[in-house]
Amino acid sequence: MGQHKYDVIIVGGGPAGASAAHTLAGHGINVCLVDKAVFPRDKLCGGLLTERSRNVFDTVFDTSWQPAVEGVSHGMQFYYHERLLNEVKDYTKLTWTRRSRFDAYLVDLAKHAGAHLRQGVAVKAVEAESGTVTLADGVRIKADYLIGADGVNSIVAQSLFGRAFDKKTIAFGLEMEAPLTRRLQEITDPEIYFGVVKWGYGWVFPKRETLTIGVAGLWRQNPDIKSAFQRFVTHRCQGMPQTKIKGQYIPFGDYRRMPGRDNILLCGDAAGVVEPITGEGIAYAMQSGYLAAHAIIEAAARRQPAAACQHYAAGYASIAGSLRWANALRYLIFPKWSESLFVRLLPKTKSVPRKHLDLMAADLDYNAYVQFLIRKTGGFLFDSMIGRAPGQRRRALK
């Protein structure tokens, strides 16, 4: 088969790849976007679009995302197993989508910006040194720059580092779209469930005709996560719906410290940029794709292809900084001792769930959130030890 030459090849057409392709094409770069699926295609994801996601989308695409939106919520409920611990009812918008719809919309935007799309064909091999990608149909394409946005099982990451992820630090998720019935009725606000898996959580998210129900937790902590998922779904749905179950590794905080090498860059799940506390991945995927594209634009302008990763690392550091804080925060939330503490604390405070949503909306940074939780849990522990009602404060002695 023949060989085709581009300035940039992007493997993977999710939010990271589409954001990179749109940005590069908008700057006149000859870019090819390759994906093994034909869009629209489905993906394991609750479909939450936070205000952080909206801000990044506006920056990258400079258009309305309304065609990809399915609904809006204004609150969230927090459970421990089946027990409601707390809820927020009057919050800033939480927007909902289906990934099949959202990703196809972003790919269309990239195509309209001028990106070449090769869909329905998998990547068979990546030759990192020569920048050559061999497709399953025998076509070989070559470029000066390569972006791996091909998910957690990234073949581009494998070509650079020998493996896509580490099973010791990866998470795993299971999810289904449960059709609405008389027993399984529509909800307006998302539900988060702690305690259903170890070092992770469960979720029930609203859609127009279904509820998206899933669990995710660290793989090594949940050897029988399928049984945990079945128990969770059976309880929430009063039975096990006969519908497709999706399973996928999820890089909960298992991010790349160096997101590439020379002229080959990694974005989105391929770089592991999924936040382990809120599950935020879409915003970081789009942001990383946008940053990678601008790194290539700068390297190309200087005619220094090997400097692309250095330029990318400078912007990527802001994402990595947030994920470092989030990884540290896991040790305040998920271990057994702290889980017990939060189960006791959460029903007694209005500020903790609201601060959690502030974090998701990017109205609060991780440093401030960690400091807030330390103060809150420290005060709660002190009150508990001396037998004082939470929130009650002694007057200072004169």
Low-confidence ranges of the chain (pLDDT < 70): 1-3, 379-398
* Domain spanning 171-250: CATH superfamily: D-Amino Acid Oxidase, subunit A, domain 2 (3.30.9.10)
pLDDT value at residue 281: 94
Q: With beta carbons less than 8 A apart as the criterion, state whether 183 and 237 touch.
A: yes
Instruction: Report CA 72 to chain centroid distance, whole Å.
Output: 19
pLDDT tens for 116-165 read: 999 999 999 999 889 999 999 999 999 999 999 999 999 999 999 998 88
Q: With beta carbons less than 8 A apart as the criterion, state whether 320 and 287 touch.
A: no
State which fold the 3-73+92-166+253-326 domain adopts: FAD/NAD(P)-binding domain (3.50.50)
Q: With beta carbons less than 8 A apart as the criterion, state whether 157 and 164 touch.
A: yes
Residues of the chain with CATH 3.50.50.60: 3-73+92-166+253-326
Does the global pTM surpass 0.85? Answer: yes
Residues of the chain with CATH 3.30.9.10: 171-250
Task: Please list the residues that pair with 191 across neighbouring strands.
Answer: 77, 204
